[in-house]
Chain A
Amino acid sequence: MTTENKDIQKTETKEIKKTELTHDRPIFTPLTDIYEKDDTIWVVCDMPGVDEKQTEISLENDILTVTGHQADATKEKHDLIHHGYQTGIYQRSFSITNQIDKEKIKATIKKGVLSIELPKAEEAKPKKIVVNG
């Protein structure tokens, strides 16, 4: 007799654990470009109003988390007569695989644009295989 073959389905983890910040400011997701060039992965985030002192980058369990606190934009001697945008905290997380050399991660922020350089680890770089004749 044949037995039914049931494919073992892998179910995706639907639950995303979200760590809440202990601030009451709104949290924004910065627009990000991610590209790969010359054995390096670049993560570039738009975070206007944030300088290097207000930027935190942490790497934990292969998750890279970027947080940027925008400078407080309220003006004491003026009334806000048109409110086009809010200021708050930028935050975004990315999962980094073992392909990245974690010791060599570098980041700079200039003009409100954060650039993170993630060099690939030696083992992950494509190796040229010499063919002997």
Chain B
Amino acid sequence: MLFRDPLNELYRLQREMNRLFNGYTLREEQFPAVNVWSNQEDVVVTAEIPGLESKDINLKVVNNHLTIEAERKADEVTEALYHRKERGYGEFSRIIELPFTVEEDKVNAQYKNGVLTVTLPRKEETKPKKIEISVE
């Protein structure tokens, strides 16, 4: 018999509910998995992609879309006997929709310990403006 892990079902339900309330959704099940954080000033995208060379990571920003592209190369191991091979390798590309348009020239990206962190400042014109209320 195949049992569905009840916790997974709960998480999935929670995500579905969050989607309904946030109005911000990303297509699930793409590689790499990302976390997206945001506030009024900027949006931060993080992804876990170990074993890459920083220079091999390609980031592109167009309006409110961020593209992360890279190739994870297999370890150069010759004449070895593999007992277990679980780690993946190959090319990947993912387009992430951002909650607002960003300043393309001010994007900052860091790759540390296999975690990619991209910080994208919000475009000035899209920032909410405070409207002064004058009191008679």
In contact, B84 and A78 (Cβ under 8 angstroms): no
A113 proximal to B (CB < 8 A)? yes
B35 touches A83 (CB 8 A): yes
- For the complex, give the distance between the alpha carbons of A3 and B46 in Å: 70
Instruction: Report how far A46 CA is from B49 CA in the complex, Å.
Output: 9
- Of B58-66, B85-93, B102-110, B123-131, the segment with at least 4 beta carbons within 8 Å of chain A is B85-93
Known contacts A79-B38, A81-B24, A83-B15, A33 near B115 by CB under 8 Å: no
Sample of 28 A–B contacts (CB below 8 Å): A31-B87, A34-B83, A35-B77, A35-B83, A35-B85, A36-B82, A44-B75, A44-B87, A46-B87, A49-B48, A49-B113, A73-B35, A75-B44, A77-B39, A78-B44, A79-B38, A81-B22, A81-B38, A82-B26, A82-B36, A83-B18, A83-B35, A85-B48, A111-B51, A111-B52, A112-B50, A113-B51, A113-B114
A11 shortest CB reach to chain B, Å: 24
Let me know if B87 and A36 touch, CB within 8 A: no
Q: Does A89 contact B (CB under 8 A)?
A: no
B residues at A contact (CB < 8 Å): 15, 18, 22, 24-26, 33-39, 44, 46-52, 75, 77, 79-88, 99, 111, 113-115
Nearest CB in chain B: distance from A35 CB, A: 4
Answer yes or no: A64 CB below 8 A from chain B CBs: no
Interface size on A, residues (CB 8 A): 31
Number of A-B pairs whose CB atoms are under 8 Å? Answer: 111
Given that A48-B115, A49-B115, A111-B52 are known contacts, is A78 also in contact with B80, CB under 8 Å in the complex? no
Which residues of the other chain, A, contact B87 by a CB distance below 8 angstroms? 31-33, 44, 46
A79 CA / B79 CA spacing, docked (Å): 49
Tell me which residues across on chain A come within 8 A of B15, comparing CB atoms: 83
Chain A residues contacting B36 (CB-CB under 8 Å) are 80-82, 84
Cα(A77)–Cα(B34), bound, Å? 18
Q: Which residues of A contact B26 (CB under 8 A)?
A: 82, 84
Closest to A37 in B: B80
Contacting residues, chain A, for B75 (C-beta < 8 A)? 33, 44
Cβ contact within 8 Å between B84 and A32: yes
Interface residues of A in 31-71 (CB under 8 A from B): 31-37, 41-42, 44, 46-51, 71
Q: Which B residues lie within 8 Å of A111 (CB)? A: 50-52, 111, 113-114
